[in-house]
């Protein structure tokens, strides 16, 4: 056998692999794309945030109630601040006379006076309102508006006008127009004169001057009035058209002072004063003014300018008075002292009361009984 045959006859060695105990799997590698301006770099995986625990319902409601309580407490505090800050600016005076006075009757009687005091007004402001000078010296002030608010022990209030030209006895000064008592001796002599003439005891006193009146009207955004006829009065500095309109402070002041534009003169003025006062108080006591501390403060500060009350009046009594006036036009009664006629005297033209009807009116107020039908608005 040849050598080439021997080489061809030798077997070729085979390499054996040990058998694997794990199955073989193909591994695929994903290409990693580089981060770029439009492709953010891959972020490492983060563990999910733990779920927040919900408060039990009773604790949730407790938090809501606490928050509401704080808001209400803050609101009430602001209302108290608005009211008492304004009340602190009101002038307190010794309004009641000394000596013998009528016995107290049923209910409460508050005397409301509108004076021509320019207290708190500059000369420019007084000129703008058409009221003349900026000051009226003490003891020389006059009043165009005298009204008595009767608050019964139960039932609806009554507002009574006393025309300023009413001819009555004034203690220490003889017979004169009733508003002369205010010029002679201020609030004490006016109250004494009214108590002697009516037999009614006055329990409270409120007086407001020109500036305070106009300021309150402007602070509430004016007062809407419906005038049955045009009113032009050069003395009161007004020229108002007929129809419904909103009167600002200046026009409102002129309207309640005007008498020359009306055939009934002082009687018409007294009636307009009662109507306007009820409309003004209704506007003041509206929820948008009473429940907003900033509005209440603005109205109070404006009204405090030129406002005076007796030094025994409480803020509660003042609020009760305002609230009663608010309802006069809808629930209360608005009348004037019965007039028998007029006369010419040494103090000028005056109005004479109808004694029988007037005494019947005063008796009804004293005893909280129904007003006589003879009394007219």
Handedness of CA 83, 84, 89, 92 (dihedral sign): positive
CA atoms within 13 A on the CB side of 179: 24
The answer on pLDDT for 375 being more than 50 is yes
Q: Of 58-67, 142-151, 203-212, 261-270, which gets the smallest average pLDDT?
A: 58-67
41 or 305: which leads in pLDDT: 305
Band of residue 23 on the pLDDT scale cut at 50, 70, 90:
low
Q: How far apart are CA 207 and CA 311, in angstroms?
A: 12
What is the DSSP code (8-state) at residue 49?
P
- Give 56's contacts (C-beta < 8 A, 6+ positions apart): none
The answer on pLDDT for 24 being more than 70 is no
- Give 211's contacts (C-beta < 8 A, 6+ positions apart): 117, 118, 119, 120, 121, 125, 126, 129, 305, 306
pLDDT given at position 191: 96
- Give 240's contacts (C-beta < 8 A, 6+ positions apart): 227, 230, 231, 232, 247, 251, 255
Tokens of 17: 């692999």
Contact (Cβ atoms closer than 8 angstroms) between residue 377 and residue 338: no
Please compute the mean of the pLDDT values over residues 180-191 and round it to a whole number.
94
The answer on pLDDT for 49 being more than 80 is no
How far is CA 79 from each of CA 68, 186, 292, rounded to the nearest angstrom? 17, 33, 7
Three-class DSSP labels, 10-44: CCCCCCCCCCCCCCCCCCCCCCCCCCECCECCCCC
> Averaging pLDDT over each range in 77-81, 123-127, 228-232, which range is the top one?
228-232
pLDDT given at position 20: 52
Arithmetic mean of pLDDT over the chain? 80
The answer on pLDDT for 343 being more than 50 is yes
The answer on pLDDT for 137 being more than 50 is no
Q: Given the structure tokens 């600016």, which residue do they identify?
A: 89
């Amino acid at each position: 056998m040849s050598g080439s045959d021997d080489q061809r006859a030798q077997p070729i060695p085979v390499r054996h692999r040990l058998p694997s105990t794990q199955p073989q799997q193909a591994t695929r590698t994903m290409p990693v794309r580089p981060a770029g301006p439009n492709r953010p770099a891959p972020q490492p995986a983060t563990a999910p945030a733990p779920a927040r625990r919900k408060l039990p319902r009773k604790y949730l409601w407790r938090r809501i109630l606490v928050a509401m309580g704080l808001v209400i407490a803050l609101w009430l505090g602001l209302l108290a601040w608005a009211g008492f800050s304004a009340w602190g600016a009101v002038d307190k005076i010794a309004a009641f006379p000394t000596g013998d006075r009528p016995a107290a009757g049923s209910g409460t009687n508050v005397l409301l006076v509108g004076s021509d005091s320019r207290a708190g007004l500059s000369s420019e402001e007084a000129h703008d309102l058409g009221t003349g000078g900026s000051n009226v010296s003490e003891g020389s002030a006059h009043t165009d508006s005298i009204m008595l608010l009767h608050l019964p022990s139960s039932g609806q209030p009554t507002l009574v006008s006393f025309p300023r030209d009413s001819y009555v006895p004034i203690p220490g000064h003889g017979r004169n127009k009733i508003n002369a008592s205010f010029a002679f001796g201020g609030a004490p002599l006016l109250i004494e004169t009214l108590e002697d003439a009516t037999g009614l005891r006055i329990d409270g006193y409120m007086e407001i001057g020109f500036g305070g009146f106009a300021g309150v009207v402007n602070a509430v955004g004016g007062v809407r009035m419906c005038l049955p006829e045009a009113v032009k009065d050069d003395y009161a500095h007004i020229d108002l058209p007929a129809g419904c309109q909103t009167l600002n402070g200046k026009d409102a002041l002129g309207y309640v002072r005007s008498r020359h534009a009306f055939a009934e003169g002082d009687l018409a003025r007294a009636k307009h004063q009662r109507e306007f006062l009820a409309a003004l108080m209704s506007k003041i006591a509206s929820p948008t003014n009473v429940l907003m501390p900033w509005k209440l403060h603005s109205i109070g500060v404006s009204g405090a300018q030129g406002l005076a009350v007796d030094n025994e009046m409480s803020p509660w009594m003042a609020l009760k008075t305002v609230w009663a006036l608010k309802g006069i036009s809808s629930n209360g009664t608005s009348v004037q002292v019965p007039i028998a006629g007029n006369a010419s005297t040494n103090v000028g033209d005056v109005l004479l009361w109808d004694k029988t009807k007037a005494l019947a009116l005063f008796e009804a107020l004293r005893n909280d009984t129904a007003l006589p039908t003879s009394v007219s608005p």
